[in-house]
Amino acid sequence: MSHPNAKHRPASRESSPREQGANPWEASAAETTVKVGLNAAIVGVDEDKPLVMTVRYDETVSNAEAGREDQGIPGLPFGPFEPHRHRTLDSGLRQWVAEQTDLQLGYAEQLYTFGDRGREFEFGGGPRIISVGYLALTNRVSDDPAPLASWEDWYRYFPWEDWRDTEPPVLAEVIRPALIRWAERAEMGPERDHKRERAALCFGSDGIAWDEEKVLDRYELLYEAGLVYEAARDRGPRPDTPERPLGLPMRFDHRRILATAMSRLRGKLKYRPVVFELMPPTFTLFELQRVVEAISGVRLHKQNFRRFVEKSGLVETTGDISTQTGGRPAARYRFRREVLLERLSAGVRFSATISKR
Amino acid sequence: MSHPNAKHRPASRESSPREQGANPWEASAAETTVKVGLNAAIVGVDEDKPLVMTVRYDETVSNAEAGREDQGIPGLPFGPFEPHRHRTLDSGLRQWVAEQTDLQLGYAEQLYTFGDRGREFEFGGGPRIISVGYLALTNRVSDDPAPLASWEDWYRYFPWEDWRDTEPPVLAEVIRPALIRWAERAEMGPERDHKRERAALCFGSDGIAWDEEKVLDRYELLYEAGLVYEAARDRGPRPDTPERPLGLPMRFDHRRILATAMSRLRGKLKYRPVVFELMPPTFTLFELQRVVEAISGVRLHKQNFRRFVEKSGLVETTGDISTQTGGRPAARYRFRREVLLERLSAGVRFSATISKR
DNA sequence: CCCATATATGCTCAAGTTGAGCATAAAACC
DNA sequence: GGTTTTATGCTCAACTTGAGCATATATGGG
């Protein structure tokens, strides 16, 4: 049985063990040498559009490491960790981002380290590549980025993740039917049941609610079922590859890293005051709500949202009012940066409501 | 101002940038080559003792990479990732653990990837080493481990983390006074205030409650203040190095990885059903509570704990009763593994109470 | 100027959750 | 049989959450 929190896999001996008590570092250098890629999912919000920074390359990339079919497909800012040039992983990431996007990162946190990137790096014979993914947040979305860099609406890559107005039609029209076929291709019995259940858990259905935090699980399921471009790219055409693959693709495993970032951010929003990294210095409560909704992809109950935010102690009014709201003017607030040092630091709690606020 | 959730650091140009649009992988191999260490914090519980698997080495380790002063000091099971031998990071970890401890890992999750290990690896001139830390959970604590491996009470490494009976005396006797001196060594003004506040936040004090999840923050503060062995080992003696350093040391950065594991596990306990990985197939509710208390280091309210667990749907009774409890016999339960597939999956919620149950 | 329409903001209410403790049950030990 | 120990049932007040009603104050059109 699979485990949603972690992998249960018997430790098969892939080659012969060493003798007890040896120093594991004594293995020869050639066997232990790898390259480490640093990848940034940089997130911002413009009005009600969640944005991710992408980079395209002007040269034609031809070596095996760069992915054979990825020319022209944009990706996240990234570059190799260079031990002699970078003091830490973190600072290496910041340098690459600055060079490629002209953005000076503020908030950045490590997401995950991926060791298996499908198969695209297994030929070419060069050293194995490992990706360290980061999530970065910024409010500088109107600065001009470098020529090859640009902000993109993240729902272009994940159209099934935006439930703010309605359930995305692609779910009923494409995804759920394709996942049913995917399950049917397994032989009848526990495996088929398990696949069906997994699909229902990830994408919701009769009785199972949509969980906006499961972005990564959903992407990985679509990849496994061969419904995203990257699956065919990495493993050859699949039985059910649709004519119009789901969402826009990215280079390498960058869409997976973005999915990881979205999951983490949607989760963290609820228990840490991270939204404010995405806000301008002052804002109205409704602007704050729109940003939370943009990130989480669901609508919130307005009065309860303000009740929560006001009670939390995370913000204070500036005294100004904003009259550009289209209705009664709204009070402007600022984030109380001091609370980052207080024990109370809660995040922005919310629970989804059925459209309409 | 520091940020408790992530690092805010300006991206200083540590060396000259490349031209726009270049393929970052084209940097020469020598500049981008590193070694990756896989490290496992394997956790189990015996009665009410939280255990971590440690390994000692019988040979004298002499090369710079292994840490100059670490001979004889035990550490976590670890070994380098070997691309030709290991299919994934995960499977590499499992192999090393099997070889060094004779344990077949079940649940394992990645914790964090550390790129800067203090300074102990900066000389020697070999390739830079990066550590990927994992948290693993097991209930096989009574199996005999390999000769050089052994289970140790994790509070031997973190004596200030066990609040089950009383506030650990070392806090009032050693830690808090030393941290006050550490803050005083900063010049008067915002920096000193900030240090004082950070100490109070980490270790609690007037009005600020103990937060059992901040294990890593506390360890890092003690390291910075020079109060743990590893600080003197990595950076030379500090002004305030105590005669009796705090807790037992570990090799390399292994105590930091263990602290990360403890933080993650204490947090995750509350929202994912991970405790059950530490339990035998059947157990009484009080046995379950003792394990949660062992891990979290705080006492829980017994009636409320059972109310929560029963309501959660995570367990079902087996029909058996356990008569070895010292009092009225207790019903035995088993974990309903099915719930790992259900949407409801909550963790084990609790909040600390002031000793006494 | 008045009205329709927007958004902002205050307030209530029922249902559920949480923290704490009282009370009783059923073993073991003497 | 009484004491001790743990198990388990139950209550109660305080607080939180989800939902919606009502009022306030802008804007724009006639």
DSSP 8-state class, residue B139: S
Q: E strands, B47-184, where?
A: 49-55, 78-80, 107-114, 128-137, 149-153
What pLDDT, in 10s, does the model give residues B260-291? 999 999 999 998 999 999 999 999 999 999 99
The mean pLDDT of B118-129, rounded to a whole number, is 55
Please judge whether B197 and A341 are an interchain contact, meaning their C-beta atoms are less than 8 angstroms apart. Answer: yes
Answer whether B272's CB lies under 8 Å from B314's CB: no
Residue type (1 letter), B120: E
Answer whether B132's CB lies under 8 Å from B89's CB: yes
- What is the C-alpha to C-alpha distance for residues B309 and B314, in angstroms, rounded to an integer? 7
Answer whether A131's CB lies under 8 Å from A251's CB: no
Stretch among A340-349, B125-134, B244-253 having the lowest mean pLDDT = A340-349
Q: How far is CA A82 from CA A75, A88, A92, A125, B64, in A?
A: 20, 9, 7, 20, 21
**Which nt is closest to the CA of A330, judged by C1'?**
C8
Q: Given pLDDT bands bounded at 50, 70 and 90, which one contains residue B101? A: very high
Taking each continuous run of H as one helix and of E as one strand, the counts in chain A are 10, 9
Give the per-residue pLDDT at B28: 60
The pTM of the full predicted model, rounded to 2 decimals, is 0.89
| Nearest chain B alpha carbon to A103 | B11
Q: Which nucleotides of C are covered by protein (CB under 7 A)?
A: 5-12, 18-22, 25-28
Answer whether A287's CB lies under 8 Å from A279's CB: yes
Nearest to B202 by CA among B211, B194, B190, B192: B211
* Residue B177 pLDDT greater than 90, yes or no: yes
Please judge whether B88 and A116 are an interchain contact, meaning their C-beta atoms are less than 8 angstroms apart. Answer: yes
Give the per-residue pLDDT at B159: 98
Which one is predicted more confidently, A244 or B167?
B167
Please judge whether B88 and A61 are an interchain contact, meaning their C-beta atoms are less than 8 angstroms apart. Answer: no
Give the per-residue pLDDT at B338: 85
What pLDDT, in 10s, does the model give residues A50-95? 999 999 976 554 444 444 444 579 999 999 999 888 889 999 999 9
Contact flag, residue A32 CB and nucleic strand D, below 7 A: no
Which one is predicted more confidently, B8 or B107?
B107
Give the per-residue pLDDT at B301: 94
Give the per-residue pLDDT at B260: 98
Please judge whether B11 and A94 are an interchain contact, meaning their C-beta atoms are less than 8 angstroms apart. Answer: yes
Nearest to A202 by CA among A183, A189, A187, A230: A183
Containing B90, the helix (H) or strand (E) segment is: helix B89-101
Q: Residue B350 — φ and ψ, nearest 5°?
A: -165, 165
Stretch among A72-86, A281-295, B22-36, B190-204 having the lowest mean pLDDT = B22-36
Which tokens sit at B87? 């299919």
- What is the C-alpha to C-alpha distance for residues A258 and A154, in angstroms, rounded to an integer? 9
Contact flag, residue A329 CB and nucleic strand D, below 7 A: yes
Q: Which of the residues in chain A have pLDDT under 70?
A: 1-22, 27-30, 58-71, 117-127, 341-357
Q: Given pLDDT bands bounded at 50, 70 and 90, which one contains residue B317? A: very high
A vs B, Cβ pairs < 8 A, gives 243
